[in-house]
Structure 1
Amino acid sequence: MDIIQAIEERHAVRSYKDKEIEPEKVEELNQEIEKCNKLGNLNIQLILNEPKAFTGFMAHYGKFNNVKNYIALVGPKTANLEEHIGYYGERLVLKAQQMGLNTCWVAGTYKRRKCACKINSGEKLVCVIAIGYGEDQGIPHKSKPMEELCKIEGNAPKWFEKGMHCAMLAPTAMNQQKFLFTFDGKALKLQALKGALTKIDLGIVTYHFELGSGLSIKK
């Protein structure tokens, strides 16, 4: 499965089978996490066979079932932490999809205090990603029309259309899609609009657009 196929086929999954992630896949995930931590100056951790974070009312409210594995997204308290978490967290989400695993971004509907990750001084836990073998493959989310998510002058280049295709498939908090691309024929910009967790969403959307377009978005 190539990365664009992973983007198109990956959907949020909240109910998981009672099946352990194979050791070779755990090793592969940890290797990818190590790369992300080095590139993003983060402290992301894979937590296995730990169900306490997804028990009780919050997990029930979030419609989660049998979540025993998750990726804890931890990093230093900097101004761009949430955006980095979104960017590198989504890199791990798509890597998991390519490996035949399912995932779900989780910001509030879990027990933060029960999360088994290690948080060093000056760091914070931003959110987690549930991971494992899903009971299903999830359901595609509805997207706003492309014209509501971008403003361009003239005709859109092919690379921009490909980037927008992937950006529109990016998971965002409550499927709010509170982001806006602008392109005047020379400069490309992406901004987060007002809404919950939009900085995390910005990182996720950035990663998707870069994969689709083949270009980096300058901050």
Structure 2
Amino acid sequence: MIEKRHTVRKYLDKPLDMDLIGLLNDCIEQINKLYDLTFKLVTNNSDGLSSLARLMSNNSVQNYIILAGKDSSDLDEKIGYCGADLILYAQGLGLNTWWCGGMFNGKNALKHLDDKTVRVNGVIAIGYGKTQGVPHKSKRPDQISHYQGKAPDWFKSGIKALLLAPSALNRQPYIVDGVGNKVSFKVKNGAFSQVDLGIGKYFFELGADKSNFEWEDTL
């Protein structure tokens, strides 16, 4: 599923199947309960996207997921981690997604939420893509990672998966170090860096299998 997922910015004029809406809402409800977040699927609307995002999509986006939660020191990392889970779940349902990065309208998105005190920090466009997208230009494993000694297969698999992850501004700002079964993970400072941290951790865990390693404190 990781290999099949690519960013898609243009969508068919086709409403989401009601069964898929139900599955997405169930998944979002579980995420919200488990991580104390306020994600929400908005259908037949694109007001949470910025004017630039709508222009880039030729006004073809009809649905999006609001990424929001109560403000806290780890909110952005949770948004990234759980948003990553959602885009892969959507891919498995035959849908396509676009993590809009900085191109969202938080004020408009907030109108769709009951709790107006939460912070919105992103939206994910979702629908039936006109194409399945194409792989993005990727860095090499040695540009983002280092393992002390001979890298085990699980570490290599984690890095491979990480390089297939979206990043909020498409910069792959990751720095991953491993020694034994300990892995430290950090991102270069910048806009949405903590969102990228969450996205990256999710993809690395998926590739490496969490049973093979332990996270060290982020440097």
What TM-score does the superposition give when structure 2 sets the normalisation length?
0.91
1:109 has 2:103 as partner: yes
Change in Cα spacing, 1:45 to 1:168, as seen in structure 2 (3 Å) is same
How far did 1:121 drift?
4.9
Written as runs of structure 1 = structure 2, the 5 A alignment for 1:120-199 is: 120-199=115-194
Counterparts of 2:50 and 2:151, CA distance in 1: 47
Written as runs of structure 1 = structure 2, the 5 A alignment for 1:30-45 is: 30-45=25-40
Aligned-residue RMSD, C-alpha: 1.7
Report how many aligned residue pairs link the two structures: 213
Identity of aligned residues (%): 38
Partner residue of 2:65? 71
Partner residue of 2:46? 51
CA contact (8 A) 2:8 2:132 kept: yes
Comparing 190-199 and 90-99, the one that deviates more = 190-199
SS in 2 for 1:73: strand
How far did 1:184 drift?
1.8
Comparing 47-56 and 198-207, the one that deviates more = 47-56
CA contact (8 A) 1:86 1:200 kept: yes
Report Cα offsets for 1:159-213 as digits up to 9, x if no partner.
Answer: 1111111011000123211111111224211111122211111111111111111
Q: Which runs of 4+ in 1 moved over 6 A?
A: none
CA contact (8 A) 1:59 1:109 kept: no
**Equivalent residue for 2:206, pick from 204, 211, 214:** 211
Change in Cα spacing, 1:27 to 1:83, as seen in structure 2 (3 Å) is same
CA contact (8 A) 2:50 2:103 kept: no
Letter in 2 for 1:113: K
What TM-score does the superposition give when structure 1 sets the normalisation length?
0.91
Written as runs of structure 1 = structure 2, the 5 A alignment for 1:20-39 is: 20-39=15-34
Gaps of 5+ in 2: none
How far did 1:151 drift?
1.5
Change in Cα spacing, 1:154 to 1:73, as seen in structure 2 (3 Å) is same
CA contact (8 A) 1:163 1:209 kept: yes
Gaps of 5+ in 1: 1-5
CA contact (8 A) 2:106 2:121 kept: no
Partner residue of 1:3? none
